[in-house]
Amino acid sequence: VTSEASSSASPVAPQDSAAPVVAVDCNGADLGPAEVAAGAAIAASQGTRVILFGPASELGEQPDGVEVIDAPVSIAKAEDPVSAARSTPEASIVQAARAVAQGRAQALVCAGGTGAALAAGSFNIKRARGIYRPALAIPLPVPRRPVTLLDVGANAEARLEHLVQFAFMGAALARTVLGVPRPRVGLLSNSVEAARGSALVIETHDALLARVAGGIEAFEFVGNVEGGDVVAGVADVIVTDGFTGNIALKLMEGVSQTILGAVRDAAMSSTRAKLGGMLLRGALGGFREELDPEAHGGAYLLGLRRLGVVPHGRFTRTGFAQAILRAERGAREDLVGQTQRALEAAGALRRSPMSAQAASLRQTG
């Protein structure tokens, strides 16, 4: 067990794709840091190497493949995660992000809240070259029709070029981590018609069509999709701005919980109903499993130089293990590099001011 609080960040080191290490922030989980460590032990038993950042005194002995860095300070519940991430270099999430930035680990998992992960990740791991904005993607537990929605809240506003990149980022996630060979990507709108929707959606639709004209390997663009299509299996990835995506995600969670709660209440309302509920329980079990958000590891922080995964704070060890295993898979399959190459091939990378100038000089010269 060592302590580390240096604030010097070196550039991201080249990736050892053979054996990625996952840096895990243990603070912030509802069940406590030890539950995250228990998840890490499960992942380690499947061969994944993990560095845990959390209170060593609460984490105890770890199995082979799991290292502990004592980092008791948590900013998981900070009211302003951005300033907390800046001003608290000793915080576990900041140390974990720095370990990734320094090449000691190749992916980040943060049990301590999306805001802290986003801030610490952006400051330390930094955006990947040519990416305008990071995005949060979440694989939704829709029975038989899994779909990944992004952005679910990294940015409250989006521009055309952001949404275009989100399509490529989400497709690369679906391909590498979720195992969809050629993802179908849709653009969330109030109509399937290309000419309707907000001004942003109309221009993004056209830009995406232009980027994929002639066919690309990265994904298939299925056009605009409506709210109901999120659960209809028409797309593997659905792109939207972080404002709309965040509302959609929380609405889905709320509606699911409300309906399942009402079914549960109905099954407790009389002796007859109770018996019915008991008999039905087994058959509903499989369905509940499909709805289980822990199976998908949580939210994915895309657009940085390394992949981040943010399991929900209420997860158990099973969910934390999934998050770590999927983070490792994303690093091993080079999610970031695949995103980059697809964006480059489509001409959708942000050009640095210098290269934009050079290109403009070439054109006019």
83 scored as a contact of a second copy (CB under 8 A): no
Q: Which of 192, 223, 189 is nearest to 205 (CA)?
A: 223
Q: Which of 310, 277, 343, 355 is nearest to 120 (CA)?
A: 310
What is the smallest separation between the CB atom of 205 and a second copy, expressed in angstroms? Answer: 13
Residue numbers 308-337 binding a second copy by CB under 8 A: none
Nearer to a second copy, 262 or 356 (CB): 262
174 token code pair: 């679906």
On the 0-12 / 13-18 / 19+ scale of CB atoms within 10 A, 294 is: buried
Rounded Cα distance between 5 and 94, Å, is: 9
Nearer to a second copy, 191 or 360 (CB): 191
H or E stretch including 137? strand 135-140
Among 48, 165, 246, 339, binds a second copy (CB under 8 A): 246
Among 9, 207, 216, 267, binds a second copy (CB under 8 A): 267
Among 1, 210, 262, 359, binds a second copy (CB under 8 A): 262
Q: Which of 248, 135, 102, 271 is nearest to 188 (CA)?
A: 248
Nearer to a second copy, 86 or 281 (CB): 281
The answer to whether residues 162 and 173 touch, using CB atoms and an 8 Å cutoff, is no
In the shown chain, the binding pattern of residues 196 to 235 toward a second copy, with x for contact by CB under 8 A and - for none, equals: xxxx-x------------------------xxxxxxx---
Q: Which of 117, 31, 34 is nearest to 75 (CA)?
A: 117
The answer to whether residues 28 and 116 touch, using CB atoms and an 8 Å cutoff, is yes
What is the smallest separation between the CB atom of 341 and a second copy, expressed in angstroms? Answer: 32
Rounded Cα distance between 43 and 58, Å, is: 19
Rounded Cα distance between 326 and 162, Å, is: 25
Rounded Cα distance between 238 and 219, Å, is: 12
Nearer to a second copy, 55 or 298 (CB): 298
What is the smallest separation between the CB atom of 279 and a second copy, expressed in angstroms? Answer: 3
Question: What number of chain residues touch a second copy (CB under 8 A)?
Answer: 61
Q: Which of 261, 256, 329, 264 is nearest to 293 (CA)?
A: 256
Among 87, 270, 352, 355, binds a second copy (CB under 8 A): 270
Rounded Cα distance between 294 and 141, Å, is: 9
**Euclidean distance between the first and final Cα of the chain, in Å?**
60
What is the smallest separation between the CB atom of 356 and a second copy, expressed in angstroms? Answer: 26
Stretch that binds a second copy, among 35-43, 98-106, 204-212, 237-245 (CB under 8 A): 237-245
In the shown chain, the binding pattern of residues 161 to 200 toward a second copy, with x for contact by CB under 8 A and - for none, equals: ---------------------------xxxx----xxxx-
157 scored as a contact of a second copy (CB under 8 A): yes
Among 210, 213, 280, 358, binds a second copy (CB under 8 A): 280
Rounded Cα distance between 354 and 357, Å, is: 5
Nearer to a second copy, 13 or 278 (CB): 278
What is the smallest separation between the CB atom of 276 and a second copy, expressed in angstroms? Answer: 3
Nearer to a second copy, 210 or 247 (CB): 247
Q: What is the DSSP track for 36-59?
A: HHHHHHHHHHTT-EEEEEE-HHHH
359 scored as a contact of a second copy (CB under 8 A): no
Stretch that binds a second copy, among 121-129, 207-215, 267-275, 326-334 (CB under 8 A): 267-275
What is the smallest separation between the CB atom of 286 and a second copy, expressed in angstroms? Answer: 8
Binding residues (CB under 8 A) for a second copy: these are 142-143, 153, 156-157, 188-191, 196-199, 201, 226-232, 240, 242-244, 246-256, 258-260, 262-263, 265-267, 269-270, 272-273, 275-284, 286-287, 290
